[in-house]
Amino acid sequence: MHLTGSLVVSLLAATSFALPDKSAVKHVRSNSGYSLKTPPLTTPWTDKVGTDPWPEYPRPQLERSQWQNLNGVWQYENASGLDAVQSPPFGQNFSQEVLIPSCLESGLSGIQAVDALYSWFSNSFNVDSSWKGQQVLLNFGAVDYEATVFVNGKQAGFHRGGYFRFTLDVTPYVNFGQDNELLVFVHDPTDSGDYVIPIGKQTLNPNHIFYTPCSGIWQSVWIESTPATYITQLDLAADMHGQVNVTVHSSNLNTSTPVEISLLENDKVVAAHKGPSNRPFQFKVSSPKLWSPDSPHLYNVTVKMGSDTIQSYTGFRTISKGTVDGVVRPLLNGEFVFMFGTLDQGFWPDGIYTPPTQEAMVFDLQLLKDLGFNSVRKHIKVENERWYQACDQMGLLVIQDMPAMRPLQTEADGATILPNATQQAEFGRQLTILVNQLKSFPSIAVWIIYNEGWGQITNYYPEFGLTALVQSLDPTRLVDSTTGWFDHGAGDFSDNHHYANPQCGSPFYSIDSSPYDDTRIGFQGEFGGLGNNVSIEHLWNVQAAIETINQTYEIDTSIDAWNYRSHVVLGELRDQVQLFACSGGVWTQTTDVEGEVNGLMTYDRRLKRVNEKQWKSDIQALYDAADARRNNATVEASS
């Protein structure tokens, strides 16, 4: 018997429900072949990942106790092409071993593949005999880009979209108390051929601000056991008045089952309500403690539907917009909140899209909190759900981008590549999934649809329809329809990008941007980007990336010069808060990424460029300037 560490952890986590019989848990295949491949740069966590990555429960807002983590060492083989899926290699050992979850291109995967367009993954998993009579659900946190899943030789499902969670009911295919063969075919075209799909910053040809792609099973995989009728999704929204809106989605769409929801604080039920499944219902909690970045209070939630019980949580807060002293402002709990965050791309030199560990992931967010940022812009990527939970717990307002399709022009041939009608419809479908999957995280404040014109059709203005779509799916958030470039008046923000200095809510503007529109929120969706080269041990050690270091942004020749320039640029933003209609900004960026050396810290997270004392004071000055506007005091811009 071989009991992997991840199973031990997941079994230990399953304390309040019947534990699977440990003696029945085993893996048939040897896992001795996996070893970390040395990436071009490591992080302090690279060597801590081991072979049982991401033991934490992957779906914190719909948590079941009876589950089994399938992360760990799987088998991998490069596939010849799309046709390979027609003849799945059942019952075979593959030539290589791979760490799941990971990007095939990452050192942590043990593969470090290039051009991994078609792949096979296999693993075997035991379904405990005590689960017999229950449903068995197989969950994937995210697979980039298309996954065809086979269980014991039968096709169990297909999923398209590289950033989203999906669940397959594999009950009919599994053998209880025995090993089951799991085979996954993955097709990830990224930006090859004429594919125009949501990819964010991934490219098969990394250069400048475009990076190494991520292919394969890059978020956690797990199975869980449920009753015949089970909760598939929980939509929860709670506002500053104590209003709670709930929809408990059931696997049985035909009938409405009674559900009971309880809010808990320190294990005590502080509110409870009964309602139907599959239909929205509401109730009110008197004088809830509100959620905000300064006081990120959360309530635990238990939902029971028939014999299914799940754990979740929520926070009470209201995001809206309103006019404060004649200026349209974003409001949190009815008050102007100056939103100040970083461009946070979520790339890692050892894991690419997959943070090496939860601790590493939180390390980035903690730096932002320590410096006084109250927001973070998750840039054209979707994180695993524990990242949003961390923002909920730590108190960071999330500005969430939809992963972009290809940028307007490719470096190679200068050709314009825009989505055709089919691809545009698919973009809308995936945008719908994004909002529906993430809308119950209290920290998310703003949805972004388009970044700098990437994939944005301009012979008609699709952002108007997509904005209406997002507003209908989630009326509780603001929509920043176009951050940077082609603004035709859609959405809640008049959002400008400008480097290095900001032009926020300002009456002047540069050729790339539009004049501030005073009917919407004036915002600086990107600025800063100041660079500073570092020694080779902190650099992404790839010659092509090193050669582009001085081709993108301003490079300051010392860390002192970098902090001096930061102080000047942040001071300019403060002046614009005082003088103009600037309601927030996004500093580029949290960390260096590949050939970009403009982070608050380096790509390996080992060197912080920020002079913390100065940055804290410069960031506080932004909030003070905003407070002065909120209080309608007369202020003068400093020189």
Instruction: Give the interface with ligand NAG as residue ranges (CB under 6 A).
Output: 29-30, 78, 80, 91-93, 113-116, 194, 237-239, 243, 245, 252, 254, 264-266, 282, 298-300, 325-326, 420-423, 476, 533, 535-536, 539, 546-547, 549-550, 632, 634
Task: Look at residues 348, 344, 299 and name the one whose alpha carbon lies nearest to residue 526.
Answer: 344
Nearer CB in complex with ligand NAG: 84/433? 84
Nearer CB in complex with ligand NAG: 155/476? 476
Nearer CB in complex with ligand NAG: 108/371? 108
Rounded to a whole number of angstroms, the minimum distance from the CB of residue 484 to ligand NAG is 25
CA gap 510, 533 in Å, rounded: 28
Nearer CB in complex with ligand NAG: 23/254? 254
CA gap 235, 559 in Å, rounded: 46
Nearer CB in complex with ligand NAG: 30/129? 30
CA gap 534, 551 in Å, rounded: 15
Rounded to a whole number of angstroms, the minimum distance from the CB of residue 618 to ligand NAG is 23
For β-strands 493-497 and 521-528, DSSP reports them as parallel
Residues 6+ apart with CB under 8 A from 345: 201, 379, 380, 381, 589, 590, 591, 593
Rounded to a whole number of angstroms, the minimum distance from the CB of residue 489 to ligand NAG is 25
Rounded to a whole number of angstroms, the minimum distance from the CB of residue 422 to ligand NAG is 4
CA gap 278, 38 in Å, rounded: 49
Rounded to a whole number of angstroms, the minimum distance from the CB of residue 343 to ligand NAG is 22
Rounded to a whole number of angstroms, the minimum distance from the CB of residue 609 to ligand NAG is 14
Nearer CB in complex with ligand NAG: 240/367? 240
Nearer CB in complex with ligand NAG: 175/541? 541
CA gap 245, 251 in Å, rounded: 20
Rounded to a whole number of angstroms, the minimum distance from the CB of residue 634 to ligand NAG is 5
Rg (CA), the chain: 24
Nearer CB in complex with ligand NAG: 3/617? 3
Both structure tokens of 164: 């989203």
Nearer CB in complex with ligand NAG: 397/586? 397
Q: Tell me the three state secondary structure of residue 549.
A: helix
Give Cα separations from 317 to 89, 135, 303, 476 (angstroms).
51, 36, 21, 10
Rounded to a whole number of angstroms, the minimum distance from the CB of residue 514 to ligand NAG is 24
Phi/psi-derived region of residue 329, left when phi > 0, alpha when psi is between -120 and 50, beta in every other case: beta
Phi/psi at 473 (5° precision): -75, -35
Helix (H) or strand (E) holding 218: none
Task: Look at residues 185, 170, 192, 181 and name the one whose alpha carbon lies nearest to residue 216.
Answer: 185
CA gap 75, 124 in Å, rounded: 10
CB 237 within 8 A of CB 476: yes
CA gap 470, 490 in Å, rounded: 12
Rounded to a whole number of angstroms, the minimum distance from the CB of residue 159 to ligand NAG is 19
Rounded to a whole number of angstroms, the minimum distance from the CB of residue 543 to ligand NAG is 9
CA gap 465, 579 in Å, rounded: 34
The b/e string for 203-242 (b: 16+ C-beta within 10 A; e otherwise) is: bbebbbbbbbbbbbbbbbbbbbbbeebbbbebbbbbbbee
Nearer CB in complex with ligand NAG: 296/525? 296
Rounded to a whole number of angstroms, the minimum distance from the CB of residue 473 to ligand NAG is 12
Nearer CB in complex with ligand NAG: 371/530? 530
CA gap 530, 510 in Å, rounded: 19
CA gap 121, 77 in Å, rounded: 7
Nearer CB in complex with ligand NAG: 47/359? 359
Burial of 193 (0-12, 13-18, 19+ CB in 10 A): exposed
Nearer CB in complex with ligand NAG: 222/299? 299
Residues 6+ apart with CB under 8 A from 142: 162, 163, 164, 165, 217, 218, 219, 382, 384
CB 609 within 8 A of CB 599: yes
Rounded to a whole number of angstroms, the minimum distance from the CB of residue 546 to ligand NAG is 5
Rounded to a whole number of angstroms, the minimum distance from the CB of residue 244 to ligand NAG is 7
